[in-house]
Chains A and B, each alone.
Chain A
Amino acid sequence: GIQVEQSPPDLILQEGANSTLRCNFSDSVNNLQWFHQNPWGQLINLFYIPSGTKQNGRLSATTVATERYSLLYISSSQTTDSGVYFCAVDNTNAGKSTFGDGTTLTVKP
């Protein structure tokens, strides 16, 4: 099956700093999503981005499908950005996502 690798595994930032999270995948995909898992365990949809670039406030994402990677940018980080960020891909069009192991982000005040 498809492999998903996220980097870095852990990231510690001071409030106000910028960061880039990376997701590499081993095969072509139909769907790619970024999620934020908050400290209560809830999975929050950030971006549905099988290709191209999208922005939502301080967050933006870019997927280069031909090169099999996606990037999530967080600018001017806040303590509420802390948590685990997951990349999930699907190459089956059957609602079968494969998740990476996540990047744990800690933003210090």
Chain B
Amino acid sequence: NAGVTQTPKFQVLKTGQSMTLQCAQDMNHEYMSWYRQDPGMGLRLIHYSVGAGITDQGEVPNGYNVSRSTTEDFPLRLLSAAPSQTSVYFCASSYSPTGGSRSNEQFFGPGTRLTVL
């Protein structure tokens, strides 16, 4: 299993550009979520999904869109990049209905380091 994969690893954008951060998981997890991590801080939740076709906002959703058309994929779209969106973005997945006592354990991808100039 590859676990949770994210592409790209690094990205530089100019203010106003749009882009999509990709996230995929091969663990048959129901839940997926996006977080951002700013320097010296913990991770903050942007958007999350409890299943295909279902998404909702987290703590810091402004400027980001998500969709969940399949169980495996959960892309994050930046509509019009701003310097305040410079951060490291992590995707996570969790919850396998057949996973037993650790079925809610959350697994994270390697992150995407985004710089907006």
Which stretch from B16-24, B78-86, B90-98 is at the chain A interface? B90-98
Q: Evaluate contact between B43 and A95: CB separation under 8 angstroms.
A: no
Are A95 and B95 touching (Cβ within 8 A)? Answer: yes
Q: Which of B31, B93, B107, B111 contacts A41 (CB 8 A)?
A: B111
* Contact A96:B105 (CB < 8 A) given known A86-B42, A86-B43: no
CB neighbours of B108 from chain A (8 A): 35, 43, 45
Q: How far apart sit A43 and B110, CA to CA, in the bound complex (Å)?
A: 7
The size class of the interface chain A forms with chain B is 20 to 34
Which secondary structure characterizes the binding site on chain B?
strand
- Does B105 lie within 8 Å of A95, measured CB to CB? no
Is B93 within 8 A of A45, CB to CB?
A: no
Contacts of B95 in A (CB 8 A): 95
Contact B104 A31 (CB under 8 A): yes
Q: With A41-B88, A42-B110 in contact, is A97–B31 under 8 Å at CB? A: no
Determine whether A100 belongs to the interface, using a CB cutoff of 8 Å to chain B: yes
Q: Report yes or no: A94 in contact with B50, Cβ–Cβ below 8 A.
A: yes
Pick the 3 closest A-B CB pairs, nearest first.
Answer: A95-B31, A99-B42, A48-B105
